[in-house]
Amino acid sequence: MRWCTVSEPEQRKCAELAKALVAVLPPAEVTAFARLSCILASSTTDCIERIRANRADIVTLDAGEVYSAVKQFGLVAVAKEIYNDGGCILSVAVVRNSSLDVRSLEGVRSCHSGARWTAGWSLPLGFLLSRNYLSWSKEQPLSQDVSAFFNSSCVPGAAAMAPSLCSLCQGQKSYIRNKNYHCETSHSEPFYNSQGALRCLRSGAGDVAFVDHLALQSIEESEWDEFRLLCTDGTQAPLSLYRSCNLGRGPGGALVTRPNLRKIARKFIQIIQAQFGPKGKERLRFQLFNSSAFGENDLLFKDVTDKLAILTVDEDISQVLGLDYVALLKGLGHEGSSLDDSVIRWCCISQAEQTKCEQWALSIKSDPLVCVRAASMAHCVEKIKRDEVDAASLDATHTFIAGKCGLVPVVTEYYGAKCLSAVEGSTHLETDVLPSIVGVALAKRASRSIFIGNLGSRRSCHSYMYSPAGWLLPHQFTLSLEHNTSSPCNPDQVYNEVFWKGCLPGSEGNLCKVCMGGTEDAPSKRCADNHNERYYGNMGALRCLVGDPTGKSYGEVAFLEQHNLQANILKWETCNLGAIPPNTVMTRPVLTARVYDFLMKSQEALAANPDTTFKIFESHQYTESDLLFKDATKCFVHTSHKDYRSILGEEFYQHAETVFNCTHSDLLELISPYVGKMRLLLRTFALNTAGGSRTLCSGVLHFVPPVSSTDVQYVEQLQDFVSRARHLFVLTGAGLSTESGIPDYRSEKVGLYARTTRRPMDHMEFVRSAKSRQRYWARNFVGWPQFSSHQPNTAHKALQQWEQRSKLHWLVTQNVDALHSKAGQRRLTELHGCIHRVICLGCSNISGREDLQRRFENLNPEWTAHAGAVAPDGDVFLEDEQVLNFRVPPCGHCGGILKPHVTFFGDSVSKPKVQFVHEKLAESDAVLVVGSSLQVYSGYRFLLAANDRKIPVAIINIGSTRADHLAQIKVSGRCGDVLSLIQTL
């Protein structure tokens, strides 16, 4: 194996590694897999060329160079650096001048880690372009505009791009290639890599340094006050806040080789890591990830590398580096200029939209417009994310989804009365006021008995899946008095429970039975989430309300936006479902300026030709409405400088987030793909909650305490923890069940201890006091129908799947709700018993709780009570006078006292059960705590035992726990959100 090095210090470290391999491995193994020679090159670019030409075999590169090596030189990635906080890096802008901010960087002197490097080039430039702080004409390479933007720079590796990008560099100059180190990606250039860029800033040569967050670890704490970070909102922050104050996240470094060497390279990497990694057998002889002995930083690998993740599957580079990052590199021209750079690909969701789009393309003389078909608006978001199209105008809900997926606004549709512009004839407007539209619920005038509140078992018409008026807004109202007991926050669940059947294009089951499909001239699948469904959209919902000629497919109520109404509906301003923010054109960050320029040129071309038959904001000639843009649009408002959240408004944003926190969507899996085994698909929005708090659903989730955003690095660490475990011991608590709608006692602000003076039933009080038993059983009788109806949530199901895949060795739950059993868990111990069973304190006979419920009903046929709030133990709050006449049956076998088969407060878990759990713990190699504060000793004791046995511990919980000091990893987040991300490999 010939390792390519780029400096004398790196050559020396490589040579020491070669010696160490010979010293510790058997000669046969050295000959077969571990013979190492070191090839000195002038730069990383030289290394790439040498490897392609078979004059070297392997090198570690920044992710930006990995992309170039793979796409332009045919190399392959075989391993990735994983750092102690995950496999990604953050790009940070470091300054010493307190007056600088990210909006005033034009004309300053800049220091960069490397040309086309992730943290030093691609992420910061992508950010500057997305905010229009940096302009790129596309008529010349980006490097030319960057060199004009900064006063002077040092960008190692940029010598061939623009001379001024190397003007601050300090390396030796020479006409002899092997002796020229000026502006090279080599340690012989003093300002090379992130450490070098910081050196550039320290020396006073530069005003700002673009580096990765890992380099901040090299700054002594005594120096931290000398430096500040530039944040995206125009403020500054101390170095310690790099997680919230950065310019973006990207993949870390990786090792590349030729395709024919990938198997040997993987084996070689496994050997050197097993011997000299942080946990290697011979780490005292040689430290793979430490360069201090050689007088430089980051030799062969970054010094902060925790391990190398072998890429055992031959994945596409988009999977290795991530879709977002690859799209960014393409947008920055990493593959060179091409025809694609001048083409705008617009997303169309139906044949009608495609026809209009093609007419648009023929009517303009700006950059070429290509019309690309997708299956739905959600599919457009996916295609933009995957770099298959460039832009689409999205409704407010899809704008929310797109924003969570990393897309950004370009322009927003304006629905005001007039578009006044500084340029006569222009349809572009600059304003901070964005008029909204409203959602309405319509019924036929003849249907006078229909109103909000009695829609149960009727036929419904909705515009389409995820639409603001047809899907998001209606569910927040009491649509049916008969179906208002559970108040679920998932709209799909609400509509399925309330309506007999309906048409919600993009849905399934009963909510598709009223849909029509296409016309005879253009037949299509029924319930399609686009205009190919006759009842799709606002006009489609109206058609649905009117019904088809056969009289079979019709609705009794329609949920849609008011702007499409032609009829004289007078009171929509006061009688509506709520305000809806305008549609917004969304794209990838690096394309905002290009898409904006295209739209403006397009508008100018159309305005200059008023006689053209094509009207961009009209759709009636295509026998549809709202094609590409809403027909109510008067012009565009420039909003690329705004955050999508501010466009939506806080009220709508919070409502959307509340709903999506408990609504599954396959689209959400697009967010933040990670590398190899560390690739975590974020399926919900809980891990990206901005601002640290949120409003939760009014139904199932209002017992879950607020949670600030979960740091992805801890989820990555948890993924690694679970992947390494072979016999995982899981301990669950009440925090798991709160996500199924069952409250707990201890959660901060929302637990019963925080909200009431109510305390759990005491064992001795229950045994000694007939009055206490009467009060308990009366409350339990009233609460039982609801308590017993609770179902397993995402977390329960994930743990059951872990058991099926032999990842989970044993599960111990402190909960008494039987939700693990309902989920199908078999390797299970219910530590505190199960409230679905009843035990006689006299004869120890065990019976089912449902049987006792029937006995209660027979004994108390006339007894009624008005229930208060629900409690964690399966009962409800009742006033004492309400329970006076409630009768409690005795044991049917011996006449003894009946008690729930659970461990009440003040009682203890049986010794045989405790001993059994200890045995299961001893058979395990890792412990995961899920949703427990561990305040009760009955569960906490097993964490102490795990610590004594040196068994590693990880905890998922909102808030602190009694065992935080024993945990190797602590993830603060909702159990279902976090567990759904973890892959059991």
- Tokens 């006299």, residue located: 842
CATH of residue 474:
3.40.190.10
- Tokens 């070098």, residue located: 196
Any known ligand binding at 749?
yes
At 666 the pLDDT is 54
d(CA 544, CA 514): 8
Residue 101 pLDDT > 70: yes
At 747 the pLDDT is 45
Q: Are 550 and 609 found together in one domain?
A: no
Taking residue 785's Cβ as centre, other Cβ atoms within 10 Å add up to: 10
Residue 102 pLDDT > 90: yes
Q: Are 498 and 576 found together in one domain?
A: yes
Any known ligand binding at 936?
no
Q: How many domains does the structure of the chain reveal?
A: 5
> Tell me: the pLDDT tens digits for 888-923?
999 999 999 999 999 988 888 999 999 999 999 999
> Tell me: the pLDDT tens digits for 427-476?
456 677 788 889 999 988 888 778 888 888 899 999 999 999 999 999 88
Q: Are 516 and 533 in contact (CB under 8 A)?
A: yes
Residue 699 lies in a domain: no
The SS3 assignment for 720 reads helix
Q: Which residues contact 911 (CB under 8 A, 6 or more apart)?
A: none
CATH of residue 756:
3.40.50.1220
Residue 589 lies in a domain: yes
Going by their DSSP bridges, the two strands 501-503 and 898-902 should be labelled as unpaired
d(CA 43, CA 178): 9
Torsion of CA 1, 73, 308, 926, to 10 degrees: -130
pLDDT, average across residues 875-890 = 82
At 568 the pLDDT is 62
C-alpha closest to that of 549 among 511, 516, 503, 504: 516
Six token digits for residue 34:
């571990």
pLDDT, average across residues 549-578 = 80
Any known ligand binding at 891?
yes
Band (197; pLDDT cuts 50, 70, 90)? very high
Alpha carbon separation from 343 to 26, 225, 391, 829 (Å, rounded): 59, 47, 11, 61
Q: Are 354 and 643 in contact (CB under 8 A)?
A: no
| Ranges assigned E (strand) in 36-190 | 37-40, 59-61, 76-83, 88-95, 109-112, 152-154
Q: Phi and psi dihedrals of 12, rounded to 5?
A: -70, -40
Q: Are 756 and 852 found together in one domain?
A: yes
Q: Are 939 and 814 in contact (CB under 8 A)?
A: yes
Any known ligand binding at 817?
yes
Q: Are 964 and 894 found together in one domain?
A: yes
> HSE-up of 932 (CA within 13 Å, CB side)?
25
Any known ligand binding at 975?
yes
At 697 the pLDDT is 24
Among residues of the chain, what percentage have pLDDT more than 70? 86
Residue 698 pLDDT > 70: no
Any known ligand binding at 310?
no
Q: Are 59 and 158 found together in one domain?
A: no
Residue 665 lies in a domain: no
Residue-by-residue DSSP string for 106-157: TTSEEEES-TT-IIIIIHHHHHHHHTTSS---SSS-HHHHHHHHSSEEE-TT
At 381 the pLDDT is 92
d(CA 64, CA 46): 15
Residue 585 or 576, more confident: 585
Q: Are 520 and 366 in contact (CB under 8 A)?
A: no
Q: Phi and psi dihedrals of 623, rounded to 5?
A: 60, 30
At 707 the pLDDT is 53
Residue 696 pLDDT > 50: no
Residue 179 or 409, more confident: 409
Alpha helices by DSSP H, 340-387: 351-363, 377-385
State yes or no: is 918 an active-site residue. no
Q: Which residues contact 548 (CB under 8 A, 6 or more apart)?
A: 516, 534, 554
Domain boundary among 622, 639, 656: 639
> Tell me: the pLDDT tens digits for 33-68?
778 999 999 999 999 999 999 999 999 999 999 999
d(CA 854, CA 677): 51
d(CA 61, CA 76): 12
d(CA 427, CA 603): 6
At 699 the pLDDT is 31
d(CA 135, CA 106): 11
Alpha carbon separation from 880 to 157, 615, 860, 865, 870 (Å, rounded): 80, 71, 17, 11, 16
Domain boundary among 267, 295, 330: 330
Residue 274 or 607, more confident: 274
Q: Are 449 and 551 found together in one domain?
A: yes
pLDDT, average across residues 927-937 = 93
Q: Are 775 and 872 found together in one domain?
A: yes
Residue 184 pLDDT > 90: yes
At 704 the pLDDT is 45
For residue 445, what is the DSSP state? T
- Tokens 């650096």, residue located: 81
Q: Are 98 and 42 found together in one domain?
A: no
- Tokens 């990938």, residue located: 262
Residue 267 lies in a domain: yes
Band (269; pLDDT cuts 50, 70, 90)? very high
Six token digits for residue 162:
């623009």
Any known ligand binding at 676?
no
Residue 766 or 689, more confident: 766
H or E stretch covering 194: helix 193-202
Domain boundary among 248, 273, 303: 248
At 782 the pLDDT is 86
Q: Which of 299-308, 513-522, 557-566, 696-705 has the lowest mean pLDDT?
A: 696-705
Residue 655 or 4, more confident: 4
Q: Are 909 and 939 in contact (CB under 8 A)?
A: no
Give helix 911-922 / helix 937-948 axis angle, nearest 10°. Answer: 30
Any known ligand binding at 231?
no
Residue 686 pLDDT > 50: no
Taking residue 920's Cβ as centre, other Cβ atoms within 10 Å add up to: 17
Residue 984 lies in a domain: no
Any known ligand binding at 646?
no
Complete edge-to-edge strand list for the sheet that includes strand 898-902? 846-848, 833-840, 898-902
Any known ligand binding at 665?
no
d(CA 254, CA 71): 15
Residue 331 pLDDT > 90: no
Q: Bridge partners of 501?
A: 459
Residue-by-residue DSSP string for 641-658: TS-HHHHH-HHHHHHHHH
| Ranges assigned E (strand) in 364-498 | 369-373, 391-394, 408-414, 428-429, 437-442, 459-462
d(CA 153, CA 156): 9
Any known ligand binding at 609?
no
> Tell me: the pLDDT tens digits for 732-776?
999 898 888 887 654 444 344 344 445 577 888 899 899 999 989
For residue 661, what is the DSSP state? T
Band (332; pLDDT cuts 50, 70, 90)? confident
Residue 367 lies in a domain: yes
Residue 19 or 130, more confident: 19
Q: Are 119 and 232 found together in one domain?
A: yes
Six token digits for residue 687:
């891990």
d(CA 860, CA 842): 24
pLDDT, average across residues 230-236 = 92
Any known ligand binding at 14?
no
Q: Which of 211-220, 274-283, 369-378, 701-710 has the lowest mean pLDDT?
A: 701-710
The SS3 assignment for 759 reads coil
d(CA 817, CA 796): 12
* Catalytic member of 112, 531, 563, 832: 832
Q: Are 298 and 373 found together in one domain?
A: no
Q: Are 189 and 171 in contact (CB under 8 A)?
A: yes
Residue 892 lies in a domain: yes
Residue 242 pLDDT > 50: yes
For residue 33, what is the DSSP state? I
> Tell me: the pLDDT tens digits for 148-183?
999 999 999 998 888 889 999 999 887 776 777 899
C-alpha closest to that of 811 among 873, 908, 745, 736: 736
Any known ligand binding at 957?
yes
For residue 761, what is the DSSP state? P
Going by their DSSP bridges, the two strands 152-154 and 254-257 should be labelled as unpaired
> Tell me: the pLDDT tens digits for 624-661?
889 999 999 988 999 988 889 999 999 999 888 888 87
Residue 675 lies in a domain: no
Q: Bridge partners of 371?
A: 346
Q: Are 776 and 855 found together in one domain?
A: yes
d(CA 499, CA 483): 10
Going by their DSSP bridges, the two strands 459-462 and 501-503 should be labelled as parallel
Residue 941 pLDDT > 50: yes
Q: Which residues contact 518 (CB under 8 A, 6 or more apart)?
A: 524, 525, 528, 532, 533, 534
Among residues of the chain, what percentage have pLDDT more than 90? 52
Q: Phi and psi dihedrals of 373, rounded to 5?
A: -80, 140
Average pLDDT, the chain: 85
At 517 the pLDDT is 86
Q: Are 449 and 489 found together in one domain?
A: yes
182-219: burial string, b at 16+ Cβ within 10 Å, e else: bbbbbbbbbbbbbbbbbbbbbeebbbbbbbbbbbbebe
The SS3 assignment for 259 reads helix
Q: Which residues contact 248 (CB under 8 A, 6 or more apart)?
A: 90, 91, 123, 124, 126, 127
Any known ligand binding at 750?
yes
Residue 495 pLDDT > 60: yes
Q: Phi and psi dihedrals of 812, rounded to 5?
A: -115, 125
At 456 the pLDDT is 87
Six token digits for residue 711:
């740091």
Range of the domain at 394: 343-416+582-639
At 49 the pLDDT is 96
